[in-house]
Amino acid sequence: MALPPRPGGPLETCLKRAISIIVTLALLAWLASDQRWKMVGDAFASITPGAFVAVAAALFVTYVLRALRVCDEFRGDVNGRFGAVLRVILIHNAMINIVPFRGGETAFPILLRQVFGVPIVRASASLLWFRLQDAFVVGVLACLVWPGLHPALRAAGITVLIAAAWYLPRWARAPHNWTAGGRIVSKLGKLRDIFTEATGRSRYGWWWTMANWALKLGVQGWLLAMLLDTSFQTAFPGAVGAEAAAILPVQGVAGFGTYEAGAAAALLYSGIAMKDGLQAALALHLFILCSAVATGAIAWLFPSKSTLPETPAAGPARK
């Protein structure tokens, strides 16, 4: 999963959305030429049904790991209702994949508020920390496996990312007098305090994050290797590159375009032609999208009981 977009002015937001649409349309135009859609379908034809089932099952386990991370983070609020947490994760994951411009991220705090009564600001701060943890883990993996990277740059990148991941929570917990400043500074101080709480609430957050990404990228690399008819070692950097592209400030609609470009760029260093890399990455992206939408739709059919008290209607309307 990717970082939520950084807030910006209306002009900046419109510019990012315009670029996102252009990136996505460029991918669709490329696919429309030379019957490339047929080539994407042919890539799936070489994979056995058993392999599809295994990949789908492994992806579902990653959803379970994310739900366990949320249960750990909000253990005082969910009260062991793992099924309800898993439903939130499945719907949130589907919304991320289908709602343009990362708008699906809002589903997480809204659903936690509706189902468990968690304040939206608190849930949003935890979601930000989740995304930062995701970015740090994927970034370290990218430095480890990116083809052709100089060993010195590889070591420097890993060191910087680990140091930043270690320092950020400690910076947030450090004493500060932001709340004593002006109106804007005071609000930033309150947000910093909420973020501080989010970074220290989870007991095993880093372990859940690493387990999730190890399995998710492993199964994506396996499927990509089957699509390209190559080795796992060759395909795995492509899976990492696809997820690392999600950190970019500008994304294609539903991730289309940037996801494929990130995978193809990494595969290019492994000797895979750009055309083949884009086609295989698109097939992988479509499979992940279908998995997310299918599980999210199933979860939507089973509503969770809310812990929020119902608001009684007044007078005759109650009857």
Q: What is the mean pLDDT of each run of 10 residues along the chain (319 residues)?
A: 48 64 62 59 78 94 96 90 95 84 83 92 89 92 88 95 91 72 70 76 87 95 93 93 78 72 89 88 88 89 71 43
Q: How far is CA 301 from CA 150, 297, 318, in A?
A: 50, 7, 27
What residue type is 71 in one-letter code? C
Question: What per-residue confidence (pLDDT) applies to 318?
Answer: 41
CA gyration radius for the chain? Answer: 21
288: nearest Cα among 13, 63, 24, 30: 63
In a domain, 308, yes or no: no
- Annotate 249-284 with three-state secondary structure: CCCCHHHCCHHHHHHHHHHHHCCCCHHHHHHHHHHH
Cα 237 from chain centre: 18
Read off the pLDDT of residues 158-214 as tens digits, 9 standing for 90 and up: 999 999 999 888 887 777 676 666 677 777 777 777 777 778 777 788 999 999 999
Question: What per-residue confidence (pLDDT) applies to 312?
Answer: 44
Question: What per-residue confidence (pLDDT) applies to 193?
Answer: 75
Q: How far is CA 234 from CA 90, 145, 194, 281, in A?
A: 30, 10, 42, 13
In a domain, 248, yes or no: yes
Question: What per-residue confidence (pLDDT) applies to 21?
Answer: 62
Q: Which helix (H) or strand (E) holds 196?
A: helix 183-201
- Find tokens 């789908």 and name the residue: 56
Read off the pLDDT of residues 123-157 as tens digits, 9 standing for 90 and up: 988 898 999 999 999 999 999 988 888 999 999 99
In a domain, 20, yes or no: no
Distance, CA of 147 to CA of 143 (rounded, Å): 9
In a domain, 23, yes or no: no
**Average pLDDT across the chain, whole number:** 81
Give the chain's domain count: 1
Question: What per-residue confidence (pLDDT) applies to 211?
Answer: 96
Cα 297 from chain centre: 18
**Tokens found for residue 184:** 């804007």
Does the reported pTM lie above 0.85?
Answer: no
In a domain, 118, yes or no: yes
In a domain, 180, yes or no: yes
In a domain, 28, yes or no: no
DSSP code per residue over 112-165: HHHHH---HHHHHHHHHHHHHHHHHHHHHHHHHH-TT--HHHHHHHHHHHHHHH
Question: What per-residue confidence (pLDDT) applies to 179?
Answer: 63
269: nearest Cα among 158, 150, 139, 138: 150
**Tokens found for residue 214:** 């190890």
In a domain, 231, yes or no: yes
Judge whether 282 and 40 are in contact, CB under 8 Å: yes
Cα 219 from chain centre: 16
Write the CB contacts of 1 (distance below 8 Å, at least 6 apart in sequence).
Answer: 66, 93, 96, 130, 131, 134, 246
Question: What per-residue confidence (pLDDT) applies to 19?
Answer: 66
Note down the domain range covering 178: 36-303
